Amino acid sequence: MCSCGGTKLSNNSPASLLSSSGNFDLSKDKLDGELATQMVQMEYVGPRAETFSIRSRVMPDKVYRFGNNPHHKEQTVFLGDAEYLLSLLNGESPQWRVLTRGASMERRDPAAVLGVAIGV
């Protein structure tokens, strides 16, 4: 046994509620509810030609695939994710740009594009 005098509990609160593990509240920076899930067409204009994946911050089970190539250059993303993507820079240059704001539901609905089936 040591002769340190035992354990004493402190009633002092810390000067900061932030911790080094990063488990602080980031909700102030996020769009809320319906606005965050609106869709935006984005184009990757960064230097990486090979395809890479980015997980959505709005809906974590959604993964976007981007690359500066004809197959993965453009993607429709959530508005909340678009804000994050626009904040990512390559030095001083942006890596993404917005092609459309709030893609209409009709453009994303295959039935609206194809039209109503005609009875034979």
Per-domain residue ranges for the chain? 32-114
Per-residue pLDDT at 37: 83
Q: 111 φ, ψ to 5°?
A: -65, -35
- Asked if the model's pLDDT at residue 23 lies above 80, the reply is no
Instruction: Give residue 26's pLDDT.
Output: 47
Question: What confidence score (pLDDT) does residue 69 get?
Answer: 95
Q: Which of 1-5, 29-33, 65-69, 101-105 has the lowest mean pLDDT?
A: 101-105
Structure tokens at 8: 């004493």
Task: Categorize the per-residue pLDDT at 36 as very low, low, confident or very high, splitting at 50, 70 and 90.
Answer: confident
Helices (H), 29-98: 33-36, 79-87
Write down the mean pLDDT value for the chain. 76
Per-residue pLDDT at 25 exceeds 50: no
Q: Which two tokens stand for residue 87?
A: 């904040």
Query: Are 30 and 99 contacting, i.e. CB atoms less than 8 angstroms apart?
Result: no
Q: What is the pTM of this model?
A: 0.57
In the prediction, which pLDDT does 21 show?
Answer: 46
Distance CA 5, CA 8 (A): 9
SS3 61: coil
**Are 107 and 97 contacting, i.e. CB atoms less than 8 angstroms apart?**
no
Q: Quick one: pLDDT at residue 94?
A: 93
The β-bridge partners of 75 are: 42
Pair 58, 43: CB distance under 8 Å: no
